[in-house]
Structure 1
Amino acid sequence: MSISRMGRGSWPYADAVTATPEPAPPHPSPPLEAPPAGPPLWRDRRFVLLTAARTISVLGNGFARVALSFAVLALPGAGPGQLSLVLACQAVPQLAFVLVGGVLADRVSRSRLMIVADLVGAAAYAGLAAMVLTGHAPLWALCALAALAGTATALFSPAMDGVIPLLVPTGRLQRANGLLRVGANSSMLLGLALSGVVVALVGAGWALALNAASFVVSALLIRGLRLSARVRPRASGWSELRDGWREFAGRQWLWVVVVQYAVVVAALNANAGVLGPLATEGGLGGARSWSLIVAAQALGTIMGAGLAARLRVHRPVLVAVLATFPAALPIALLAVRAPVPLIALAMFGSGIAADVFGVLWATTLQREVPEAALSRVSSYDWFGSLAFAPLGLLVAGPAAAQLGVGRALAGCAALIVLATAAALLSPQVRGLRAPRPARGGQTSDGP
């Protein structure tokens, strides 16, 4: 669960909006209708458009992750402090405005909001590229454009989550979520792998320009979805936020897992941003070893998304929570300075488990939350899960200095295990069941 342009899933119903049924009690599960006859997902025009949009924009975002850092560090007098400030200006609006994005996505056409967000992101990255290419890049302007890019992500993410059940029959949601994540994860891995080459060959400015172009292409592709706005009584934004909160807080399984992931994401951020690089730099091979470990995780996410697309489980939230435990293993292995290949193997396994969680979680959210409130509930999910993420980065450095890197890593692994074990105490987490296949019907769908 992290803010990114990947979203967490998406896809085919008509443009008319239909509401997802109210959540059913965990026992007994109602039968699931067989999916209506229709073309396979890869032959559905709007599924292909959305998948292409996400794949292209995530590829560009892979370039931007590296290009923005190198662009800032290449400026006269710039250093780690300036880079941290620019990245913080990008991250804070993602958290601050995601609830606003959820309200907007439930009031207007979600596809149009996604287009607006993509165009805002394109303008932000085009401005960053222009400043870097011309050599005139005052710090305040970099921070302002980074904040604009973060705001675009905050508007886009809840709308993306809410689009999925508008395009995909209920029985095909899990397959669609998995297929989308396979494309997005593969694209992100390719983007990160090529970003260094692109920056070295053409410079950070042109790499940022490529990312801006990817936003424009994404907006053009999403335009083909043509989803209409929901027609319902207008209420104030605060009233709609309260209604979304009631939908969120009224589902124990939902808020319990979000609280769990507030802790898990903070621990993962501390490892990925500070402690992991420090551990490898302190005798495990430095940047080359860390790159291998991170690449192993990325490969695991691709395999995990493909596996999750076909996985059939009776208790999806329980399986999703259990799939969080493997995230602690590579961190614990780093803490005891295990061999790098063993750490990479554990990271590969954690990548598989992470996307099993992601697909099962997204599908359950789409099935159980009414469509009219889905983007607002999703925004609370984003907000809660990321609430402690900046804290993880802030605390990691001082903790490593006071306790040592090994003990700080062990603490992160312990937090993941304890938070996950606590989530399993919830009866709804253990008991919420997926809809059963209807007799004589098939719930599986071909790609």
Structure 2
Amino acid sequence: MTAPAAAATAVPTPLRVPAFRRFLLANLVSATGSAMAPLALAYAVLGQGGGAGSLGVVLATNSVPTIVFTLAGGVLADRFSRSRILFLGNLLAGLAQGALAMLVATHHATTASIAGCGFASGVAAAFTAPAAAGVVGQLVPADQLLRANALVRLPNNAVKVLGPVAAGLIVAMGGPGWALSWDALSFLVASLLLLGLRLDAPVARAGGALADLRAGWAGFRSRVWLWTYTAAGTVVVAAWLAGYQLLGPLVTAEHYSGARSWGLVQGAFASGLLAGTVLCLRWKPYRLLAVAVATGAGLCLPLAALALGLGLPWVMAAAALAGIGLDVAVVAWNTALQQHVPQGEMGRMSAFNGVGERLAIPLGYLITALAAHAWAGRTVLLVCAGVIAVTTLLNLCVRDVYRVNRR
């Protein structure tokens, strides 16, 4: 146990732990910039003459490193100080976004240069995500993990409601360069806050990185609940993103009022995420993994509502319920992982899970796009909703799901 976690023993709330408050503040600061970045990035690409193809290249370049380098990030997170990894990752992301903001503000941005900065940001995310997964367990005692995970999610979800609106105003008044500058500054401030955590490495390791990776894979395969949840997540995440991000805007453009309706649906989903976080601050489910699996099934609701042509208020209600379920699932899953995986393996187990859930996303986009050319968008949306529901039911049939409970 590290010094901060030892000092936190028997505390009534994670907020009494100074190191956790510092970590929480760093998350809040970086979240304000991250919530503005997608809109600013889109308008930066459009502003230099790019279209949908250019934006697709930029988004792909940003996402590829999170698949390629996450396993390496997981190995490092189990060998070195996670607070130092988070500091360096946020610093790299801040420098990359700062360079992008300067290129955009001086009108020297091209698709290639924007994609290059996005690649650097993706590399930073690949190394910080596994480290962040294990930090909370080093900062607070086991009986406070559920509440601590909810508190970590709270600032991220709160700014998701207001961040895009603020970004739209900033881009409209001053251009995307200003929003990207704030994103860069938020990462740099967060890196300075994280520098003060000074957490020790989880365990002393004598073998090499490849030996750690092989041992991590063996540990991942030996935990049936972990690899079955990851396998189900591979399907659910791909079906959700393909249905929501790809077909959602198209269906609302054809059958609703277009961007206005889609904006309301996204706002309802973000509000649901925030409500889910508030719920997790009070609710402490015992069957952590079963709750994570079951509540994740709520993602099929807005897809089904759009597919069935329900009125916009019903679609918004379905999106809000999906947001609530998703956030409960994330908090319950993070807590289950932290309580049932030793600290010395957390980085690698989180990395294998993260890579597994992302692997099928590009294929899901491709299959869904091809299917939308052959069938109506609503029909494909209904299929995506059905895939999520069936996969969830199959995962709930795994016996080990009911053995990973709150300690």
Which residue identity lines up with residue 236 of structure 1 in the other structure? G
TM-score with structure 2 setting the length: 0.96
On the 8 A contact 1:17/1:230 being kept in 2, the answer is: no
- For 2:396 and 2:22, the matched residues in 1 are separated by 38
Q: Summarize the alignment of residues 210-225 of structure 1 with structure 2, pairs less than 5 Å apart.
A: 210-225=182-197
On the 8 A contact 1:105/1:113 being kept in 2, the answer is: yes
Q: Does residue 1:60 correspond to 2:33, yes or no?
A: yes
On the 8 A contact 1:114/1:160 being kept in 2, the answer is: yes
Q: Deviations over 1:293-316 (max 9, x none)?
A: 111011111111121232222211
Equivalent residue, structure 2, for 1:50: 23
Q: Cα–Cα, structure 1 residues 375 and 385, in superposed 2: closer, same or farther, change >3 Å?
A: same
Equivalent residue, structure 2, for 1:5: none
- For 1:191 and 1:14, the matched residues in 2 are separated by 35
Q: Does residue 1:276 correspond to 2:248, yes or no?
A: yes
Structure 2, unaligned runs of 5 or more: none
- For 2:136 and 2:5, the matched residues in 1 are separated by 13
Equivalent residue, structure 2, for 1:421: 393
Deviation for aligned residue 1:16 = 7.6
Q: Does residue 1:398 correspond to 2:370, yes or no?
A: yes
- For 1:161 and 1:185, the matched residues in 2 are separated by 17
On the 8 A contact 2:44/2:177 being kept in 1, the answer is: yes
- For 2:232 and 2:24, the matched residues in 1 are separated by 30
DSSP-derived class of the 2:255 partner: coil
- For 1:36 and 1:140, the matched residues in 2 are separated by 50
Q: Deviations over 1:333-383 (max 9, x none)?
A: 100111010010011011111111011100000000010010111000100
On the 8 A contact 2:297/2:388 being kept in 1, the answer is: yes
Q: Does residue 1:14 correspond to 2:3, yes or no?
A: yes
On the 8 A contact 2:202/2:343 being kept in 1, the answer is: no
Equivalent residue, structure 2, for 1:287: 259
Equivalent residue, structure 2, for 1:70: 43
On the 8 A contact 1:309/1:359 being kept in 2, the answer is: no
On the 8 A contact 2:17/2:140 being kept in 1, the answer is: no
Which residue identity lines up with residue 345 of structure 2 in the other structure? A
DSSP-derived class of the 1:225 partner: coil
Q: Does residue 1:339 correspond to 2:311, yes or no?
A: yes
- For 2:202 and 2:153, the matched residues in 1 are separated by 27
- Aligned CA RMSD, in angstroms, stands at 1.7
Deviation for aligned residue 1:195 = 0.9
Which residue identity lines up with residue 398 of structure 2 in the other structure? S
Bigger drift between 108-117 and 132-141 goes to 132-141
1:306 is matched with which residue: 275, 278, 281? 278
Q: Cα–Cα, structure 1 residues 231 and 374, in superposed 2: closer, same or farther, change >3 Å?
A: closer
On the 8 A contact 1:13/1:169 being kept in 2, the answer is: no
Q: Does residue 1:37 correspond to 2:10, yes or no?
A: yes
Structure 1, unaligned runs of 5 or more: 1-11, 19-34, 436-447
Q: Deviations over 1:392-437 (max 9, x none)?
A: 22222221111110111011001101110110121101333322xx
Q: Cα–Cα, structure 1 residues 13 and 299, in superposed 2: closer, same or farther, change >3 Å?
A: farther
On the 8 A contact 2:58/2:118 being kept in 1, the answer is: yes
Which residue identity lines up with residue 189 of structure 1 in the other structure? V
Q: Deviations over 1:232-284 (max 9, x none)?
A: 13322211111111221111111111111111110111122211001100021
- For 1:38 and 1:346, the matched residues in 2 are separated by 38
Deviation for aligned residue 1:231 = 4.8
Equivalent residue, structure 2, for 1:245: 217
Bigger drift between 189-198 and 287-296 goes to 189-198
Q: Deviations over 1:150-194 (max 9, x none)?
A: 110111100000111100100000010011111211022221221
- For 2:203 and 2:341, the matched residues in 1 are separated by 18
Equivalent residue, structure 1, for 2:158: 186
On the 8 A contact 1:66/1:196 being kept in 2, the answer is: yes
Equivalent residue, structure 2, for 1:383: 355
- For 1:433 and 1:149, the matched residues in 2 are separated by 35
On the 8 A contact 1:70/1:204 being kept in 2, the answer is: yes
- For 1:123 and 1:405, the matched residues in 2 are separated by 40
Q: Does residue 1:266 correspond to 2:238, yes or no?
A: yes
Q: Summarize the alignment of residues 65-144 of structure 1 with structure 2, pairs less than 5 Å apart.
A: 65-76=38-49, 78-144=50-116
Bigger drift between 110-119 and 133-142 goes to 133-142
- For 1:55 and 1:345, the matched residues in 2 are separated by 27
Which residue identity lines up with residue 253 of structure 1 in the other structure? W
Which residue identity lines up with residue 156 of structure 1 in the other structure? T
Bigger drift between 328-337 and 184-193 goes to 184-193
DSSP-derived class of the 1:282 partner: helix
| Number of aligned positions between the proteins | 407
TM-score with structure 1 setting the length: 0.88
**Identity over aligned pairs, percent:** 38
DSSP-derived class of the 2:3 partner: coil
Which residue identity lines up with residue 17 of structure 2 in the other structure? D
On the 8 A contact 1:284/1:337 being kept in 2, the answer is: no
Bigger drift between 109-118 and 304-313 goes to 304-313
1:348 is matched with which residue: 320, 329, 343? 320
Equivalent residue, structure 1, for 2:402: 430
Equivalent residue, structure 2, for 1:439: none
Q: Cα–Cα, structure 1 residues 231 and 161, in superposed 2: closer, same or farther, change >3 Å?
A: closer
Q: Deviations over 1:193-238 (max 9, x none)?
A: 2110111111101111110000001001111211122451332221
